[in-house]
Structure 1
């Protein structure tokens, strides 16, 4: 017999972190704990208020229902949770954890053995020009070869000047640059902005315009001088038919998968299968989970054998994160077996 409980936890940012949607100082998350006679499992339900499709008044009630009906089993519960992707992710992780001989070794591999690493991008948050420049300098000094900049909140020309200054010092072979607009561009100005950004030999831009403008986004992806990656566009697209239709209609150059926002590992795998069938490339990104969720995503991501830099460098953002073996070094994510987990709610 499995017993299930849920727990709320507030993560505190070390410093306010800005996107075009606003500035965050805290991050709410929830944990599902499964207990049997033999073992214990933990999964994180990484909801992002204001972005997740399951940011709903009945979120906690649904968590309570899941725990009360845990006897239904994973497959049945996942089907019932189609509108709650973050709970799907937490539940998948919790069952995987429960079945493991080590609570946090979910996908054993060379990565979890400490024998290999995952290439990741360094994340630069929005802020003043000086703050953004300092972050870039710090990321380069830390050995990152791929940097992702949040754009769309400060003056566009200032953002271009920052990119220009990076390119003056670092070539494409030195530093790969990605930008993320979080839907900040107006449809009528997007193409011109993409043209100006493309002058700095960027890898890609995430979500230049708001989601659900399918025809506009499809047209942008067709004529863009800069590869476009869909991110928020994927949120709330739950059925297999709609996933395939979206990719077939828009034909993006990339998609970015956040398991907490698109239905866990199984939901993400559906997107990957469709994308690969349509020659659309992809990478995986965390969604500001604690180290519990980040650990699950990182271990799963390693098994996918995608050599592109992944978005998994968010573990150091919080003052009250849980100690884990995850370590960032020279632009890669490592599993340090000398560091033991300290998970206390």
Structure 2
């Protein structure tokens, strides 16, 4: 077994507005493994400013993995548990080595017999830009739209009011993601305003780390709350249980690159399910390599909810795309 990696800078077609500012490029690392005859590829999808493993020794740890690639997976997992995106890339590379081609999780999805329903993501920006995106998603036939909020709540609230005035909740599911933009007091007001509009859910209404305040909100919220950034950096099973038991959210959002890859996502799903907490899976600006693997994994989990997966169209210099979007349905090709 041999392994190597290279750094790659993805260039946005249009600057991406996020809660962490406007992004023009996205750094990532591609891991390649080989057994002499076959080759496997995976993406260590580091997200600067958000990933738990955004630290100075990141590449040093990647180099360590390449040198110890023949170690047992359990040994590697223990050494890489604080580097979730590196473990995520390792999982992909080894699965790809096993299955070959562009496969990670062979299924009816990769046989082109089934699809994944996704939500339409509305990027942050001025109101005109957001309204243009919404019109485009509706024209494409999306029945679930997710809006980033918290930049200009008064205007964003107006957009939601307009949408709900045109489409009932039975026709259009609306989700919002605050990325921790509100204080607890603001969140209590916003949660009621969202409930008045039959909003499906809100992701991370307050900043991560405020377990007591989040627990209070979740216990008495008129709008279901989903934890997102709250899960990042929680690597021990006992701590995951403590988080879920303390906050008792209605949903959790799983970004494999940020929560320990497929193994980490599986554990979160099991722990949440034991507590009647639902979930869905979201990508996090991966290249087409990571996105392809996440989509294949997502299908195997058999969720009946629209998933938050990207389509590979954000970057000018992406890798080969193995996913195709038709309306709100994501297909493997």
Q: In the TM superposition, what is the alpha-carbon distance from 1:325 to its structure 2 partner?
A: 2.2
Select 2:321's aligned residue among 311, 320, 324. Answer: 324
**What is the deviation of 1:37?**
1.8
Structure 2 distance, partners of 1:113, 1:143, is 24
The residue aligned with 2:302 is 305
Structure 1 residue aligned with 2:223:
226
Q: Match of 1:145?
A: 143
Helix, strand or coil at the partner of 1:30 = strand
The 8 Å contact of residues 129 and 158 in structure 1, kept in 2 or not, is answered as yes
Measure, in 2, the Cα distance between the counterparts of 1:174 and 1:83.
42
User: How far 1:113 moved relative to its partner?
Assistant: 0.8
> Once the two structures are superposed, what CA deviation does each residue of 1:192-244 show, in whole Å capped at 9, x if it has no partner?
11111222111100000000100000000011110000000000000000001
Calculate the aligned-residue CA RMSD, in Å.
0.9
CA deviations on 1:84-124 (whole Å, 9 max, x unpaired) are: 00001000110111111x23211111100111100001100
Q: CA deviation at 1:314?
A: 4.1
Cα deviation code 1:150-204 (max 9, x no counterpart): 1111x21100100011111111111110000000001221101111122211110
Q: Is the 8 A contact 1:74 1:91 kept in 2?
A: no
User: Are 1:106 and 2:96 an aligned pair?
Assistant: no
Rounded to whole Å, the distance in 1 between the matches of 2:196 and 2:317 is: 40
Q: What are the equivalent positions in structure 2 for 1:323-342 lying under 5 Å apart?
A: 323-336=320-333
Counterpart-to-counterpart distance in 1, 2:137 and 2:295 = 20
Gaps of 5+ in 1: 337-345
Where does residue 21 of structure 1 map in the other structure?
Answer: 20
Q: Which residue of 2 aligns with 1:276?
A: 273
- The CA distance in 2 between the partners of 1:292 and 1:20, in whole Å, is 25
* Residues 1:259 and 2:249 aligned together: no
Unaligned runs of 5+ in 2: none
The structure 1 segments of at least 4 consecutive aligned residues displaced by more than 4 Å after TM superposition are none
Name 1:80's counterpart in structure 2. 79
Shift of 1:265: 0.4
Measured in 2, the distance between the counterparts of 1:45 and 1:186 equals 33
> Shift of the alpha carbon at 1:324?
2.0
The answer for the alignment partner of 1:235 in structure 2 is: 232
Aligned partners of 2:195, 2:26: CA distance in 1, in Å? 33
Q: CA separation in 1, counterparts of 2:98 and 2:278?
A: 32
1:9 and 2:8 equivalent?
A: yes
Cα pair 2:96 2:103 within 8 Å, conserved:
yes
In 2, Cα distance between the equivalents of 1:141 and 1:313?
A: 18
Q: Offset of 1:21 from its aligned partner?
A: 2.1
The Cα of 1:308 is off from its aligned counterpart by 0.3
More deviation in 181-190 or 124-133?
A: 181-190
Give the 3-state SS of the residue equivalent to 2:92 in structure 1: helix
SS in 2 for 1:260: coil
1:278 deviates by 0.2
Rounded to whole Å, the distance in 1 between the matches of 2:89 and 2:22 is 25
Cα distance in 2 for residues equivalent to 1:123 and 1:267: 25
Give 3-state SS (helix, strand or coil) of 1:108's partner: coil
Output the CA distance in 2 between the equivalents of 1:9 and 1:169: 43
Comparing 68-77 and 105-114, the one that deviates more: 68-77
